[in-house]
């Protein structure tokens, strides 16, 4: 027995998720507790998490604060091409890996199609009174929106790119195919907020070619924005080019991170507290949003101490193509180092030094 982050006593029970999910993960058995407007309960279950007929499933109930509707993105207006004005639909040179431009353009178009499809799924479940969720072994949650969106993405990729590999947060790894390319999917980044009805969530898509990340996209339908970038093609939000800030002093800069507690497993809690006092302003945006705000120049540094490859691959491309810098906490430019730091580049080394044990 132990006390959960929700302040209730939890016991451990074995669980097996649905086909393709994480096998034999531990489920936390929860009494019904109140989380604002959300009621949560959980049982031991061998059924797939999206089995909505199971009355004892872990249920999230949120009031119908807004009517669910199909989101009309800013780039769906007449005269645009999947997020870019028609006269700017092919920005920049081919990306660094040397693939021909027509392959690059088709992949970018496909990424927008994938994001459109995922947005329809996530918005349908957002603030739904029928939302169900389950706990994973890493103490994070997964909802029907996560699994359904990833299944839709995989189906579309199987049809459009049958020789590409796929790595998804919820349904695991498919071997990289003969194309030497792999799509990295996070169907709902920001699931905890999604469960509570907070609009700060996104579908993250990244494409890796021959070991190099060459495309990244973050689509946040409840916010009404989409960010993307390709190697050598620049970074965009809603079709407009973006660039990191030019702030080169911490006492004039904005820092973002989720919580001090998230740094404690790294032994960096005290260092983060000391670091934030050197910044002009500190915000707790968290998840994908803090990184794309760095790419836009609205924030200058973002710290993500606990994250997986699918959380960071897409935003790394966006930040770097916006002129910024992205590394793990050791200073290596990689999305699979267990955490990530994004910045405008001017403050990066100073932040790394301040956090170095």
For the domain made up of 1-241, the CATH class stated in words is: alpha beta
Among the listed residues 212, 109, 105, 110, the one whose alpha carbon sits nearest the alpha carbon of residue 153: 110
Among the listed residues 84, 122, 320, the one whose alpha carbon sits nearest the alpha carbon of residue 203: 122
Domain 250-355 has CATH 2.60.40.10: no
Residue 104, pLDDT score: 75
User: What are the domain boundaries of the chain?
Assistant: 1-241, 250-355
For residue 95, the 8-state DSSP code is: P
Residue 175, pLDDT score: 67
Task: Please spell the DSSP secondary structure of 295-330, one letter per residue.
Answer: HHTS-SEEEESS--HHHHHHHHHHHHHTT-EEE-TT
Q: Answer for the pair 288, 204: CB distance below 8 angstroms, yes or no.
A: yes
In the chain, which stretches have pLDDT less than 70? 1-103, 175-176
For residue 6, the 8-state DSSP code is: T
pLDDT tens for each residue of 186-208: 999 999 999 999 999 999 999 99
Q: Answer for the pair 115, 219: CB distance below 8 angstroms, yes or no.
A: yes
Residue 103, pLDDT score: 56
* Count of Cβ atoms closer than 10 Å to residue 37 Cβ: 12
Residue 6, pLDDT score: 27
Task: Supply φ then ψ for residue 267, to 5 degrees.
Answer: 75, 25
* Count of Cβ atoms closer than 10 Å to residue 237 Cβ: 21
Q: Where are the alpha helices (DSSP H) in 161-240?
A: 191-196
For the entire predicted model, the pTM comes to 0.74
Angle at CA 222, nearest 5°, toward 320 and 262?
Answer: 60
Residue 94, pLDDT score: 38
């Amino acid at each position: 027995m132990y006390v959960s982050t929700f302040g209730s006593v939890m016991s451990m029970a074995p669980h097996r998720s649905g086909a393709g999910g994480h096998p034999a993960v531990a489920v936390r058995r929860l009494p019904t507790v109140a989380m604002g407007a959300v009621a949560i309960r959980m049982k031991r279950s061998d059924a797939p998490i999206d089995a909505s007929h199971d009355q004892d499933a872990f249920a999230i109930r949120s009031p119908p604060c807004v009517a669910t509707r199909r989101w009309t993105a800013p780039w769906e207006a007449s005269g645009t091409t999947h997020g870019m004005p028609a006269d700017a639909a092919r920005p920049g040179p081919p990306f660094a890996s040397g693939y021909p431009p027509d392959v690059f353009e088709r992949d970018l178009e496909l990424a927008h199609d994938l994001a459109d499809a995922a947005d329809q799924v996530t918005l349908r479940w957002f603030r739904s009174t029928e939302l169900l969720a389950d706990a994973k072994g890493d103490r994070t949650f997964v909802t029907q929106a996560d699994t359904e969106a990833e299944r839709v993405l995989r189906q579309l990729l199987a049809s459009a790119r049958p020789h590409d590999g796929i790595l998804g947060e919820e349904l695991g790894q498919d071997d990289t195919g003969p194309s030497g390319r792999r799509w990295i999917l996070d169907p709902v980044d920001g699931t905890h907020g999604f469960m509570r009805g907070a609009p700060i969530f996104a579908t993250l898509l990244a494409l890796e070619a021959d070991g190099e990340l060459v495309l990244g996209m973050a689509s946040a339908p409840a916010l009404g924005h989409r960010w993307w970038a390709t190697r050598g093609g620049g970074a965009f939000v809603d079709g407009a080019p973006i660039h990191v800030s030019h702030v080169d002093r911490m006492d004039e800069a904005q820092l973002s991170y989720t919580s001090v507690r998230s740094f404690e497993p790294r032994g960096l809690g005290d260092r983060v507290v000391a670091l934030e006092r050197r910044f002009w302003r500190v915000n707790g945006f968290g998840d994908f949003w803090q990184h794309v705000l760095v790419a836009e120049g609205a924030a200058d540094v973002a710290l993500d101490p606990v994250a997986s490859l699918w959380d960071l691959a897409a935003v790394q491309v966006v930040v770097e193509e916006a002129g910024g810098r992205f590394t793990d906490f050791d200073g290596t430019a990689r999305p699979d180092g267990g955490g990530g730091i994004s910045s405008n580049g001017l403050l990066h080394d100073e932040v790394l030094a301040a956090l170095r044990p």
